[in-house]
Amino acid sequence: MAQGAGAGREATGSNMGSHMEVAKPAIFNGEAVKVGGFITACRLFLRMKMRGSMVEEQVQWILSYVQGGSADIWKENVMEEMEAGEIEYESAEEFLTCLRKEFGGGEEESVKAAEPRKLEQGGRMMEEFVQEFKWAARGSGYEGRPLVEEFKREMNGGIRRKLM
């Protein structure tokens, strides 16, 4: 009996993405500070809704959300190169890596490094602050003791004093 229940759960779980609502990414116009969020949203959508699609379809879908600013010119160049057979991506992930290299430009890293310092717990619950801090710390370059010190500096002063 347990075997049948587990098998049913597995089958439901594998098809779940096709029946779930998944947010589409916001339009990306080439701003370095937005490239990380855009890539994350694209990855999620691709995994949930386009897993069986061909790489070219996935890349074209991503490109449909690349609009405005410097991103338009880049998109036109990529599309021309793809149509001429000058470039072919092995995976959507490879394409997203190229997009990050093109628009991340180092600015994203410096912005990410400053992210944990901009946080403040204030009156929020510790659980909420911890999750936001984890998100901000990811990719910031902080680790080990400096990361712990940064966390302590940004937490609520009353809690910090009780811990010390």
pLDDT digits (tens, 9 = 90+) for 60-86: 999 999 999 889 999 999 999 999 998
- CB 96, CB 39: distance < 8 Å: yes
Domain boundary among 64, 86, 105: 105
Query: 56 and 115 share a domain?
Result: no
Query: Nearest CA to 113 among 130, 136, 132?
Result: 136
In this structure, are 79 and 130 located in the same domain? no
Tokens of 141: 């370059």
Provide the domain count of the chain: 2
pLDDT reading at 116 higher than 50: yes
Are residues 100 and 114 located together in one domain of the fold?
Answer: no
151 and 125 Cβ atoms separated by less than 8 Å: no
Per the structure, the complete domain to which residue 87 belongs is given by 2-105
Question: Would you say the pTM of this structure is higher than 0.85?
Answer: no
What confidence tier does 24 reach under pLDDT thresholds 50, 70, 90? very high
- Asked whether 74 and 95 are in contact (CB, 8 A), the reply is no
